[in-house]
A = this chain, B = another copy of it.
Amino acid sequence: MTIELEILRVWEGRRERAVDSVTEEGVFTICLGDEELVSMLCTPRHIRELSVGFLFSSGIIHSFSEIKKHMINEKSSTVHIDLAYPQRITYTSGCGRGVVLEVEMKPAERIQSPMRILAQKISYLMHEFQNKSSEFQRTGSVHSACFSDGERILIFHEDIGRHNAIDKVIGEALIKGLDMRETILLTTGRISTEIVHKVLRARVPIMCSRSAPTYEAVQLCREKNMTLIGFARGKRMNLYSGEERILQE
């Protein structure tokens, strides 16, 4: 996943040859039946998790059991998926950044979870989470995401795209049958509405990022009663929404 490169390092007016670790990027195409669905710039690892998570978080499947066949072709960088119940997917005439698939999707319901967690536990989990990201520590260029049950980290993934890192953990949760309604999602990435929509689909009650949310993401979390924590660094954090789930000792 990382590659060593010879570079020139400049600091304080000095120059020296050095070896630097950089991350790999690749393009994988998901084909649904006979049709190309989407091409993704990603870290070309855990493509099974990525593709399953992507189909779920985009509203194309509702459970892992809807996938009848799943085949990865490493040589052509494609994933071939057959669904048990073929979905009608309409493309808007122009699509682009962010996926514009028109899938019939019900608006997400409000989150009703009784889950509660101590603020101190969140800080502890974020600390464990950051330590796990060895790829980031080496290359400084990947995002991470993980699911926790409030005690420990259950599923962890990294990717050059912050959307992909979240799709990968959702994908693995679906494959393993983890009930995401009783988990916390931790992420390094910024929180836009696209990210909130993904996580809402998984019915995750608490999402926590070391970065910032947008205004629209905060409004969406408040409307859907999802707990949103931002700027979780050291012993600090900002509670933007659903603060009753975060307890104090």
Contact = CB atoms under 8 A, between A and B. Distances in A.
Contact of A40 (B8, B96, B249): B96
B100 A25 contact: no
Contacts of A77: none
B7 A240 contact: yes
A120 B141 CA distance: 25
A155 interface: no
Nearest to A249: B13
Interface string A23-35: 1111001100001
A175 interface: no
A10 B97 contact: no
Interface residues of A, number: 68
Contacts of A238: 7-10, 18, 20
A239 interface: yes
A119 B16 CA distance: 13
Contact of A94 (B25, B37, B96): B37
A104 B12 CA distance: 45
Interface in A180-217: 190, 192-194, 211-217
A66 interface: no
B98 A97 contact: yes
B217 A95 contact: no
A24 B214 contact: yes
Given A212-B23, A214-B141, A95 B93 contact: no
Contact of A213 (B15, B141, B239): B141
Given A11-B235, A25-B216, 20 more contacts: A5-B215, A7-B239, A9-B237, A9-B238, A11-B237, A12-B235, A13-B248, A22-B212, A22-B213, A22-B215, A22-B218, A24-B214, A25-B217, A30-B94, A35-B93, A36-B93, A39-B97, A40-B96, A41-B194, A95-B96
22 contacts: A5-B240, A7-B238, A8-B239, A10-B236, A10-B237, A10-B239, A10-B246, A12-B236, A13-B248, A20-B238, A22-B215, A25-B192, A37-B96, A38-B94, A38-B97, A39-B95, A40-B98, A41-B98, A41-B192, A41-B194, A140-B212, A160-B214
